[in-house]
Amino acid sequence: MKLLAIVAHPDDADIFCGGTLAKHADRGDTVTIAHLTRGEYGGIETTTSEIASVREAEARQSGEILGADAVEFLGFEDGRIEYSLENRLSIVETIRTFSPDIVLTHYRDDMHPDHRVTSRLVTDAYYMASLPLVETPSDPCDPENVYYFGKPTAEFDPSVYVDISGYEDVKADAIRRHESQVEFLQSHGGIDAEFDNLVDGIAAENTVLGKQTGVDSAEGFVPFHETTRAYLE
């Protein structure tokens, strides 16, 4: 099986689906992480180009820990991801390049505007990737399904749970590789309480999801199609 996680920023994949990616990589599946941006707004007291370089390096290190086969950056601008045909076609080409069975991305209901736009772009690109008359350099492909991840909200209610028991430490280690971002989020404060203790807070959320399905730790998803031949597990 081939998985492609398309996320807005470095650290998004680790936080939202790092355990799932590590589990699939460990069992021999092909895992790719594609970042729309280099996260250049995620820092203080330095330049955006310096932040982007640091965050890209951190993301590549965390990708190695998760066992990803490829870590890509698509060149979008942090905080300024826009819904456009050009951007949609860029993601179509990314999907076609890696020809995944399953695509993972952000849920549409999210506080961060980049996450919301990413969700819409990926959903529409997923549809377009199979259309022969949509021209991009790579050949059309037809992924089985999109699985959305997100933070607990009134709207986001997972219906698919992936048991990540045994991969908690791998996920935590991958998140900690984003040293600059963990420090920034914890000092940023105010916007989201989970940033006060990022790694422990995410682990606690995974534990809660695990209890709902009778396992030690889990990540939750909402599938685009309820019925599919390729299952995220």
Instruction: Tell me the whole-structure pTM to 2 decimals.
Output: 0.91
Rg, the chain, Cα only: 17
Domains of the chain by residue range: 2-223
Q: Which of the four CATH numbers 3.40.50.10320, 1.10.3720.10, 3.40.570.10, 3.30.450.20 does domain 2-223 have?
A: 3.40.50.10320
- C-alpha 208/C-alpha 214 separation (Å) is 10
**What pLDDT tens digit does each residue of the chain (233 aa) get?**
999 999 999 999 999 999 999 999 999 999 999 999 998 776 666 788 888 888 999 999 999 999 999 999 999 998 899 999 999 999 999 999 999 999 999 999 988 899 999 999 999 999 999 999 999 999 999 999 999 999 877 688 999 999 999 999 999 999 999 887 766 665 555 444 444 577 888 999 999 999 999 999 999 999 999 765 556 77
